[in-house]
Amino acid sequence: MLARPPAAHAQAAPPVRIGVLAFLGVEVALSTWSPLVAHIEASLPARRVVLTYYDVAGLRQAVQQQALDFVITNSGQYAALESEFGVSRIATLESPGVPSPSQAIGSAVIVRADRRDLNVLADLKGERVAAVGEDAFGGFQVAWREFRRQGVEPGDFARLDFVGFPMPRIVTAVARGQVDAGIVRACLLEDLARDGAIRLADFKVLSPRQVEGFACGLSSDLYPDWPLATLRHTDLHLAKAVATALLSMPVSPTGYAWTVPADYQAVHELFRDLQIGPYAYLRETTLQALARRYWPFLLLFFAALAGWIVHAVRVEQQVHARTAALRQALAQRDAAEAGMRAHQEQFDHLSRLSILGELSGTLAHELNQPLAAIANYAQSLVRRLDSGRYTPAILAEASREIAAQAARAGGIVHRIRAFARKRAAVRERRPLAELVREAAALFGGMLPGAPRIDIADRLPPGTLVEADTLQVEQVLLNLLKNAADAMQDLPPAERAIDVTLEQAGHHYRIAIRDQGVGLAPASTQHLFEPFFTTKPDGMGLGLSICKTIVEAHGGRLWAEAHADAPGMTFIFTLPADDPTT
C-alpha cells in the first residue's frame, strides 16, 4: 500500500485506444491498419496506440463501456453508434478505386457466370442466397435496400444463409453451387481476383450499375466510406491531434488515406427505409412501443376518454335520478287520482242520497199508493169471501191487480236501491233519448204531481252516447227537480218542462226548460258554487255536482235566462259518439 508507482509510469500518458471492425478477419485488418498506427504514434510521440479488433457486437459493447478513445467501423455501424452513443466522425477513409469518400461502399450480388436465368435482383425470388450477417452493411443491408426497390424481400428467397465472416466464404459457396447467389461488399470479387484466389469470369453481378470512377462490379447505390470517430468522453486535444495526424497522413502503400469527414445522411436514409438500426422502432408495433412513441397522444386520448366516461356516468346518474323522480311523481299522481276518484264516488253517492233525502217525502207517498191499492184489493177480497159474493173472475181480477201493484212498488224500490247504491263510474254506450226518457220516468215516479215533461228528440234515431248512465241520469234528475221546484207556485196544469235533444257540432245538447220563477241576475254567477241555495230545505250541492259530472264527461253545463218568457233553461252537452271507435 505504501509502495508508490515508479515515476516513469506516473508520467507516461495512457495509450490511445482505437477499436476497429475486422470484417475480413484479424490478419487482413492488421495489414490494413498498421500504417495508421505507425503514423499516429509518430505524430503523438508521447502516446502509444493500442488497436483492438472487434466484430460488430464486440465493437458496440466496447463503445458502450467507454473502453476506447476512437472507433473505426463501416458506415452502417457508425450511423448506429452515432444515434445510440453519440460517437462523432473526425475523418473519413479515402479508398483507392472509388469516385469519392462519400461514394465508396456498395454491394455486389453475385451468381455464377453460367446462370443464364439470373440477371437482375428480382430473379432471385425462390433462390438460395448467402450473406455474412444481417448487420453487415455493404455485405447485406445495402443490397437489401436494392432488393426492396425491386420488390423482393428476404422472405421471398428459398433460403437466406448468414454464414459469417470472412466474406470470401460466400464467393466460394457461390462458386461451388452451394447457394445460387451471394451478397458481398463491392470490390471484394476484384480484390480476390487480383490475389489470384478466383477468376472474375466465373462470376457475374446482378443488376449491374455503372458509376464513373468506380472500378468494381456493383448492384447498389454507393455509400460513404469508413469513418474514424471519437467517443463522447474522448479528450478534445487528443481528438484534434489525431484528426490532424490523419489528414496529414500520406497515402498508404495499399492506396488508403484519410480526408475530412463525409456526410452519412445516405446511411440514415437507408436505415429508415429498411426500418433497422436506429430506426428499428418504426417497425415496432407492440403496444409498449406505440406507448413509448405516442405517449403524449395516448395521454391526451386517455384524458379525453376519462373525461367522456365521467361525463357519461354523470349523465347516466342524472337520467337515473330524473327517471326516479318522474316515476315518483307519476306514482303520486296516480295515488292522487285514485284518491280523487274515491272522493268523487263518495261525493256522487252522498249527492244521490241527498236527492233521495229531498225526495224521500214524496217517495213515501209514491210507495203508499200501490200499498194502499194492494190493501184495498185485499180487504175487498176478504169481505167478498166472508159474504160469499165472489166469482172466480173477481178473484182472478183482484189477485192480478194486487200483483201489479206489488210489482209497481217493487219497481220503485228497485230503482231507488239501484240509484242509491255506491258504485264505481262505468262508461257504456246507450241511446241518449232512451236514457232521458228513463230519467223522466223515474222522476215522474218519484214525484207525485210532477210537472209534465215533453221530450223533443231532434237527434237521428238511435243516437248513442258514451257515458256513465247513472251519473247522467243523476244530472237529469237534478235539473228536472230544480225545474219542478221553480214552478211550485204555478197551478199544476201550467207546470211543464221541455226537454230538447239535438246535435251541435261534436256535441249533443240537452236543454231543460222550465217556466218557473227564474233567478235574479246577481245570483246567476253563484249558481254552480257548492252550497249556493235559495231554498229553505236546499243543500246547494246539486248543480255543482252536475257540473262536475258533465265536465268529467267532456261536456259543459250552463244556465240561460229567457229574454221574453219566465223561467230558465239549463243546458248541458256531452261529446258526440264516434261510431268508428
Q: How far is the CB of 389 from ligand ADP (least distance, A)?
A: 52
Nearer to ligand ADP, 318 or 534 (CB): 534
The H or E element that residue 404 is part of is helix 392-420
3-class secondary structure for 490-511? CCHHHCEEEEEEEEECCEEEEE
The length of the chain in residues reads: 581
H-assigned helices in 23-134: 26-43, 56-64, 75-85
**Which amino acid appears at position 10 of this protein?**
A
CB 395 within 8 A of CB 381: yes
CB 205 within 8 A of CB 108: yes
Nearer to ligand ADP, 206 or 527 (CB): 527
How many C-beta atoms surround the C-beta of residue 150 within 10 A? 15
Long-range contacts, stretch 274-281, CB < 8 angstroms, 24+ apart: 274/141, 274/144, 274/145, 274/148, 276/141, 277/76, 277/79, 277/80, 277/83, 278/79, 278/80, 278/83, 278/84
Q: How far is the CB of 420 from ligand ADP (least distance, A)?
A: 18
CB 225 within 8 A of CB 92: yes
Nearer to ligand ADP, 257 or 541 (CB): 541
Nearer to ligand ADP, 459 or 559 (CB): 559
Nearer to ligand ADP, 51 or 571 (CB): 571
Q: How far is the CB of 547 from ligand ADP (least distance, A)?
A: 9
**Which amino acid appears at position 135 of this protein?**
D
Q: How far is the CB of 575 from ligand ADP (least distance, A)?
A: 24
Nearer to ligand ADP, 135 or 514 (CB): 514
DSSP lists the bridge partners of residue 52 as: 19
Nearer to ligand ADP, 77 or 569 (CB): 569
Q: How far is the CB of 400 from ligand ADP (least distance, A)?
A: 40
E strands, 291-410, are none
Q: How far is the CB of 472 from ligand ADP (least distance, A)?
A: 16
- The DSSP code for 221 is -
Nearer to ligand ADP, 386 or 537 (CB): 537
What residues make contact with ligand ADP under the rule CB under 6 A?
A: 478, 482-483, 486, 514, 516-519, 527, 532-535, 538-543, 568
Q: How far is the CB of 433 from ligand ADP (least distance, A)?
A: 22
Instruction: Report d(CA 216, CA 205) in Å as an integer.
Output: 10
Q: How far is the CB of 533 from ligand ADP (least distance, A)?
A: 3
